[in-house]
A and B are shown apart, each in its own frame.
Chain A
Amino acid sequence: MHELSLVSALVEEVSRDAQERGVSRITSVSLAVGKRAHALPHALLFCFDLIKRDTILAAAQLIIEVIPPLFHCESCGLSETHDALWLDCTCCGLPAVPTGGTELEIRGYEGDCPRGGKEN
Chain B
Amino acid sequence: MEEKRIKVALARDLLQKNKTFASDLRSRFARQGLTVINLLGSPGAGKTALLEASLPLLCRHYRVGVIEGDLYTSRDAERLARSGAAVIQINTEGACHLDAQLVGGVLEELPELDLLIIENVGNLVCPVGFDLGEDARAVVLSISEGDDKPEKYPQTFRTADVVILSKLDLLPYVSYDLPAVTATLAQLNPVASLIQLSATKESGLTPWLLWVKSVVAKKRGGAEGCHRVCK
Q: Is the CB of A86 within 8 A of B187?
A: yes
The interface residues of chain B lying within 8 Å CB-to-CB of A116 are 4
CB of A78 within 8 Å of the partner chain? no
CB of B59 within 8 Å of the partner chain? no
Out of B7, B9, B14, which one reaches A6, CB within 8 Å? Answer: B14
The interface residues of chain A lying within 8 Å CB-to-CB of B10 are 13-14, 17, 106-109
Q: What does the 1/0 interface line of A102-120 toward B look like (CB < 8 Å)? A: 1011111111111111111
Q: What does the 1/0 interface line of B163-184 toward A look like (CB < 8 Å)? A: 0000000000000000000000
The interface residues of chain A lying within 8 Å CB-to-CB of B95 are 2, 5
Could you tell me the distance in whole angstroms from the C-beta of A59 to the nearest C-beta in chain B? 13
The interface residues of chain B lying within 8 Å CB-to-CB of A86 are 187-188
Could you tell me the distance in whole angstroms from the C-beta of B142 to the nearest C-beta in chain A? 21
Could you tell me the distance in whole angstroms from the C-beta of B225 to the nearest C-beta in chain A? 36
Could you tell me the distance in whole angstroms from the C-beta of B23 to the nearest C-beta in chain A? 16
Q: Is the CB of A112 within 8 A of B3?
A: yes
Q: A17-B8, A112-B4 are in contact. Are A2 and B14 (CB under 8 A)?
A: no
* Bound CA span A116–B15, Å: 30
Q: How many residues of A contact B (CB 8 A)?
A: 41
Q: Is the CB of A5 within 8 A of B99?
A: yes
* Bound CA span A44–B106, Å: 29
CB of A98 within 8 Å of the partner chain? yes
Q: Is the CB of A36 within 8 A of B8?
A: no
Stretch at the interface among B36-44, B122-130, B211-219: B122-130
Q: Is the CB of B12 within 8 A of A37?
A: no
Q: Is the CB of A111 within 8 A of B8?
A: yes
Show 17 residue pairs from A and B whose CB-CB distance is below 8 angstroms, ordered by the A residue. A1-B126, A2-B96, A9-B17, A13-B17, A21-B8, A31-B14, A36-B155, A38-B125, A38-B155, A95-B187, A109-B8, A110-B8, A112-B4, A118-B6, A119-B6, A120-B8, A120-B9
- Contacts A13-B16, A21-B8, A95-B190 aside, 18 further interface pairs with beta carbons under 8 A come to A2-B95, A2-B125, A2-B126, A5-B99, A9-B18, A23-B8, A31-B14, A38-B128, A104-B129, A105-B13, A107-B9, A108-B8, A109-B7, A111-B6, A112-B6, A115-B1, A118-B6, A119-B8
Give 5 closest A-B pairs by Cβ, nearest first: A2-B126, A104-B14, A108-B9, A112-B3, A106-B12
Binding site for A on B (CB under 8 A): 1-18, 95-97, 99, 125-126, 128-130, 151, 154-155, 158, 187-188, 190
